[in-house]
Amino acid sequence: MSWKHYIIGIFLLGVFSLSVIFQLSNKRVVERSKELLDASLMPSNTNKPCKTKKGKGIWTVYSSGRLGNQLGQFATLYALAKLNGYEAYIQQETFDWLAPIFKISLPVLHKNVVDKIPWKYHNVHDWMSEEYMYIEEKYVMITGYPSSWTFYHHIREEILREFTFHDFIRDETNKYLEQVKGTRKNATFIGVHVRRGDFLNVMPNIWKGVVADKTYLEKAMSYFRNKYQEPIFLVTSNGMEWCKENIDASRGDVHFSGDGVESSPGKDFAILAHCNHTIMTVGTFGYWASYMVGGETIYLANFTLPESEFLKVFHYDAVFLPEWKGIPADLSPLLQKLNKTN
Q: What is the CATH number of the domain that holds 229?
A: 3.40.50
Q: Are 136 and 263 contained in the same domain?
A: no
pLDDT tens-place string over residues 276-322: 999 999 999 999 999 999 999 999 999 999 999 999 999 999 999 99
Residues 245 and 331 in one domain: yes
196 and 141, same domain (yes or no) = no
Strand partners, 141: 60, 121
Specify the pLDDT at position 32: 52
Residue 260 falls inside a structural domain: yes
The predicted structure's pLDDT at residue 261: 75
Point out the domain boundary residue: 133, 162, 191.
Answer: 162
SS3 content of the chain, % helix, strand, coil (to 5): 50, 15, 35
Domain-embedded: residue 321: yes
Tell whether 145 and 196 lie within a shared domain.
Answer: no
pLDDT tens for 16-68 read 454 544 455 455 555 655 555 554 444 333 333 344 455 579 999 999 999 99
pLDDT at residue 7 is higher than 50: no
Q: What is the pLDDT of residue 50?
A: 40
CA-angle at 163, arms to 132 and 311, nearest 5°: 45
The tens digit of pLDDT for each residue in 71-90 reads 999 999 999 999 999 999 99
Helix, strand, or coil (residue 89): coil
Q: Which domain holds residue 128?
A: 58-162
- One domain, residues 229 and 111: no
Q: Examine residue 72 and state whether it is found in any structural domain, yes or no.
A: yes
Query: Among 129, 162, 195, where does a domain finish?
Result: 162
Whether residues 232 and 180 share a domain: the answer is yes
The count of domains in the chain is: 2
Q: Answer yes or no: do 119 and 171 share one domain.
A: no
Single-letter residue type at 51: K
Residue 212 binned pLDDT confidence (cut-offs 50, 70, 90): very high
Bridge partners of residue 142, in order along the sequence: 61, 122
Contact assessment for residue 156 and residue 83, using Cβ atoms and an 8 Å cutoff: no
What is d(CA 205, CA 210) in angstroms, rounded to the nearest whole number?
A: 9
Statement to judge: residues 121 and 258 lie in one domain:
no
Residue 294 identity (one-letter amino acid): G
Tell me how far apart the alpha carbons of residues 322 and 148 are, in angstroms, rounded to a whole number: 12
Residue 105 lies in a domain: yes
* Choice among 183-187, 190-194, 247-251, 255-259 with the minimum mean pLDDT: 255-259
Q: Which of 162, 182, 213 is the last residue of a domain?
A: 162
pLDDT at position 34: 54
Domain-located, residue 329: yes
Q: Which of 172, 177, 179, 201 is nearest to 189 (CA)?
A: 177
- Residue 100 DSSP SS3: coil
Residues 198 and 293 in one domain: yes
Does residue 304 fall inside a structural domain? yes
How many Å apart are CA 241 and CA 235, to the nearest integer?
11
**Element spanning 215, H or E:** helix 214-227
CA-closest candidate to residue 125, choices 197, 33, 53? 33
pLDDT tens-digit profile of 125-167? Answer: 999 999 999 999 999 999 999 989 999 999 999 999 999 999 9
Asked whether the predicted pLDDT for residue 6 surpasses 80, the reply is no
Crossing angle for the helix pair 284-293 and 266-273, to the nearest 10 degrees: 40
Specify whether 83 is located in the same domain as 193: no
Look at residue 139 and tell me if it is in a domain: yes
pLDDT of residue 342: 67
In-domain check, residue 48: no
Rounded Cα distance between 193 and 293, Å, is: 13
Distance CA 193, CA 209 (A): 18
Question: Looking at residue 260, what is its pLDDT?
Answer: 75
Check whether residue 139 and residue 263 sit in a common domain: no
Q: Decide if pLDDT at 5 tops 90.
A: no
82 lies in the same domain as 215: no
Q: Within 13 Å of residue 326, how many CA atoms lie on the same side as its CB?
A: 16
- The identity of residue 299, as a single letter, is Y
Query: Which pLDDT tens digit goes with each residue over 89-130?
Result: 999 999 999 999 999 999 999 999 999 999 999 999 999 999
Residue 14 has pLDDT above 60, yes or no: no
Separation CA 130–CA 54 (nearest Å): 21
Give strand ranges (E) for the chain: 58-61, 120-123, 139-143, 187-194, 230-237, 254-256, 277-279, 297-301, 325-328
The 10 Å CB-count burial string (b at 16+, else e) for 138-154 is eebbbebbbbbbbbbbb
Mean pLDDT computed over 239-257: 97
